[in-house]
Chains A and B, each alone.
Chain A
Amino acid sequence: MRSAFELDNVTKKFGNATALDGVTLSIPERAIVGLIGRNGSGKTTLLHHVVGLQLPTSGRCTTLGRPTEMLGSEELSRIGVVWQEGRFLDWMSVDQHIRYVSSFYEGWDVVREQSLVTRLELDRKAKVGALSPGNAQKLGIVLAVCHHPKLLLLDEPMSALDPISREHVLAFLLELLHEDGATTVISSHVMRDIESIVEWIICLDRGRVTVDSPLDTPQDRYNEWVVTSEQPIATDFEEPWVLSQRTNEHKAHLLVRDAADRVEWFETKYHVDVQSQPMNLERIFPLLHQHNA
């Protein structure tokens, strides 16, 4: 399968600070990818490299088949981006801004635009500079998707949205993904937002990729064990794959890694009952960082 974008050993330095450190990635077309990482881990810098706004200090970055420093009108008009901090022309009204950005693209979908503006309850007459952060994000989404992009990059697209708008945006994104078949990268701190959409996960930590796998993989690797016993549980479990534990007299909660086939062995060794439960991404995320996958 062709790649929507590839990074080959990309390093980006700003003075002495290293924002990306030897990042190698390949995102296949039509994939839906969650990009997760702590503040300052390099997520936005990575997205800047994908669209060619920043150039690597070393390494090579290719998007839609072209080196990013050579991206032309044809490729860039197939990319849609929602930036985390909202980059707008403050003096314009929402309507002016939409009309202005629509003129960049030949195939602007007015029907989609109208539908989205209505669903997201955007006031067309409002001044962009006076929009709340949530409404600014909604505007960013409208501007990013109405030209039917083949590569959609969403940098914290829902961080400022209220729960109802978040629902609307999520529902719309699912529709969009089916309709356009766009390769989508969603960067987010709010794991529960992206968990229901993404099928692949990339985790960045201090500019390095620590996880690059299907979403199922970390969910398979990390589990929560609820350990019960009729006898008091007095032991600290010292197995290296036990990442953390919370124990009271007859019950313990363990977070374990790569331990799916160790349940019986564990029950026998400690004379306990173990119930293994899956963990959501929200809970796995800190573990990915603490233990570097």
Chain B
Amino acid sequence: MSWGGALYRLLRRPAVLAWIPLAGFASVSAMLAVAMVWLWVDFSLPGAARIVANLAFGDGAPMSVLVLAFSTMTGMFVGQAIKELQHCHFSWALPELRRRLLPGALLVGLIVAVFAREILSGVALLALAILQADPMRYLLAFWEAFPPASVGLAALAFMAFWIGIRPSLANCVGVMAPLLVSIPLLENAIIAHPLVTVMATAPLTAFLIHETFSVGSARARPFIATKTLTGGGQRASTRTRRRGAPARDAAWRINYLGDQLINWLRAGAYENHGFRPATVRIASILVAAVATSYLGWRVLDVWWTTPGASYWNVYGRALPGRGGYPSLSSLVSTNSTFIAVSLAVLLACYASISLSRRSLYPLARRQLARIEFWGSVAETLIICGLMIAVLIVFWTFMPLAEPGAWRRELGGPYGWMALLLRPLATVFMLTPIAQLFRLRYIRGPVRWSMVRERISVIALVLILTYVGGSIVVLSYYVLPATSLLGDVLLFGAVGLLFQSAYQRLVEWHFATADLV
């Protein structure tokens, strides 16, 4: 097989047909959410809400995030194809397979890095320009910034592509999450110093390429029956524990579960996670640290560097014409929503406490529905608890920066509660969508292929995160400032309405669907 043949084998497969619309759908949906907000910003929003929207969605951040997410998704797809070819039962019979796959994968990576950056952003920007009825300004800014600005971000996208190829999803999320959340801050630096960016990303990229195609790596996982791109089977019972994965030795101490809801919720937690308080603590601290640092940076950046927020940066070009002071609380609220919703969707998809379908539980379908629903509520509450903790940590160090302004902004001793309400209400509204997705598809009777599942999850994270952010931004326009009690009643009612609808859907699912 020539390297061209290897490239053909990498890309000519039915999963391409599934992958393209998924990636496209995710990107377009997310961009549409942002575009809608910008449309509102320019035509409708007054001062504070406009600034919040600009800072939350502006600075080219969504498009850069999309470029990285798109590159990672493509990397995961190509990586799966490489795994299939390298580790399938008959790959030993294909001479020089690794070396012949390398040029193809490099070529795909370069195309993705360069073209994704330009085409994806270009199309998105064009859509925005048309929506904003001022296309020339945007297109000019885009093309003027084109050559130098692209190199740095393309290098980052190329690295993201290889991150997608090589590590597991957990590692992938671990590396990509800080990258994604910090891109709005890094973007100016990346645009200003493209060569530095290339040099900074080169070692990790080279390491990942070496790891993907090294003999040692291939021998470490020889001839395993891999999950196919089009078929399921990743949860086959014969699967062995992943190398390096921690063993969970927690003992199960309940003698008889009976029909108590709480016991079955504990059973779900045990099935999915064992009881590993230390790991949970470490994970919580890590999440809290990432979230806090992101929020902190984001707000401090605004607070100190853009008093008056008098410029708007589009691909390296500062655009005049936007002014006014941001509302700190609404800014924190919007950014909290990004973190809370993306975290909620990821946890709902991969760290749930719902019962698996691996045992025949002595439970009626009605009871299974009840356990599923209350388990989902418990998950949502845990996520909300985590977000409250993050925001309280943030709130405690924020007064150090500017105590007077912060207190004014919060509006009294209970003002901080208002910061939490809208993000948490958004989590209550949107998490059930991810939980329903998990119930119907990730853990549904028809097994999805790993790539299809993971790309769908990333797409869902992107879409719901941007939708959540949009909801909060627009809520500050529609309901700029009500009383705390009013907020509690209103957003509580909306959250409960969504949860109630989710409960009905879960009951309907368990009443009518196949469970295996």
Contacts and interface: CB of A to CB of B under 8 A. Distances in A.
A56 to B, nearest CB: 10
B356 A89 contact: yes
Given A73-B367, A88-B358, A91-B247, A53 B514 contact: yes
Contact of B516 (A54, A102, A105, A133): A54
B511 interface: yes
Interface string B330-360: 0000000000000000000000000011111
B358 A71 contact: no
A88 B516 contact: no
Interface of A: 48, 51-55, 69-73, 76-77, 79, 81, 85-93, 96, 99-106, 127-130, 133, 136
B215 interface: no
Contacts of A93: 249
A81 B360 contact: yes
Interface stretch (B75-83, B195-203, B253-261, B377-385): B253-261
Contacts of B239: 90, 129
Nearest to B361: A104
Given A73-B367, A129-B237, A87 B362 contact: no
A91 B364 contact: no
Given A53-B515, A106-B256, 6 more contacts: A73-B367, A85-B237, A104-B361, A104-B362, A129-B237, A136-B238
A105 B359 CA distance: 12
A76 B361 contact: yes
A127 to B, nearest CB: 6
B359 A101 contact: yes
Q: Which 7 A-B pairs have the closest CB atoms?
A: A77-B362, A86-B237, A87-B358, A76-B362, A72-B364, A54-B514, A53-B516
Interface string B477-514: 00000000000000000000000000000000001111
A91 B361 contact: no
Contacts of B274: 91
Given A103-B252, A127-B247, A70 B237 contact: no
B241 interface: yes
Which of A53, A103, A133, A136 has the most C-beta atoms of chain B within 10 angstroms of its own C-beta? Answer: A103
Contacts of A72: 364, 367
Contacts of B241: 90-91, 127, 129-130
B280 to A, nearest CB: 15
Contacts of B454: none
B360 to A, nearest CB: 5
Q: What is the size category of the interface that chain B forms with chain A? A: 35 or more
Contacts of B358: 87-89
21 contacts: A54-B514, A54-B516, A69-B365, A69-B511, A70-B365, A72-B367, A73-B367, A76-B363, A76-B364, A77-B362, A86-B238, A90-B239, A93-B249, A96-B249, A101-B359, A102-B255, A103-B252, A103-B256, A106-B256, A129-B239, A133-B238
A76 B239 CA distance: 28
B449 to A, nearest CB: 17
B396 interface: no
Interface string B251-279: 11011111100000001001100100000
Given A53-B514, A53-B515, A105 B271 contact: no
A53 B364 CA distance: 10
Contacts, number: 99
Given A69-B365, A100-B270, A129-B240, A87 B357 contact: yes
B516 A48 contact: yes
Contacts of A85: 236-237
B247 to A, nearest CB: 7
B260 to A, nearest CB: 12
Chief secondary structure at chain B's binding surface = loop
Interface in B362-393: 362-365, 367
Given A54-B514, A71-B364, A104 B237 contact: no
A55 B237 contact: no
Contacts of A129: 237, 239-241
Contact of B360 (A51, A54, A103): A51
Given A69-B365, A71-B364, A103-B254, A89 B516 contact: no
A100 B359 CA distance: 10
Given A129-B237, A129-B240, A133-B238, A73 B257 contact: no
A112 B248 CA distance: 27
A52 B255 CA distance: 26
A180 B513 CA distance: 33
Contact of A99 (B251, B361, B362): B251
Nearest to B241: A129
Interface string B307-330: 000000000000000000000000
B240 A130 contact: yes
Nearest to B510: A69
A231 B357 CA distance: 66
Contacts of A88: 237, 358
B236 A100 contact: no
A100 B364 contact: no
A278 B428 CA distance: 69
A106 B257 CA distance: 8
A70 B512 CA distance: 11
A127 B247 CA distance: 9
A53 B240 contact: no
A200 to B, nearest CB: 23
Contacts of A133: 238
Contacts of B247: 91, 127
Nearest to B357: A87
A104 B257 contact: yes
Contacts of A106: 256, 258
Contacts of B238: 86, 133, 136
B441 to A, nearest CB: 16
Contact of B363 (A70, A73, A101): A73
Contacts of B237: 85-88, 90, 128-129, 136
B514 A55 contact: yes
Contacts of B365: 52, 69-71
A91 to B, nearest CB: 5
A79 B360 contact: yes
A96 B240 contact: no
Contacts of B363: 73, 76
Contacts of B361: 76, 104
Which of B251, B271, B365, B511 has the most C-beta atoms of chain A within 10 angstroms of its own C-beta? Answer: B365
Contacts of A73: 259, 362-364, 367
A123 to B, nearest CB: 15
A99 B267 CA distance: 12
A77 B259 CA distance: 12
A129 B234 CA distance: 13
Which of A76, A91, A96, A128 has the most C-beta atoms of chain B within 10 angstroms of its own C-beta? Answer: A91
A214 B258 CA distance: 39
A53 B252 CA distance: 26
Contacts of B240: 129-130
Contacts of B367: 72-73
Interface string B98-118: 000000000000000000000
Contact of A76 (B360, B445, B512): B360
Interface in B393-420: none
B362 A54 contact: no
A76 B367 CA distance: 12
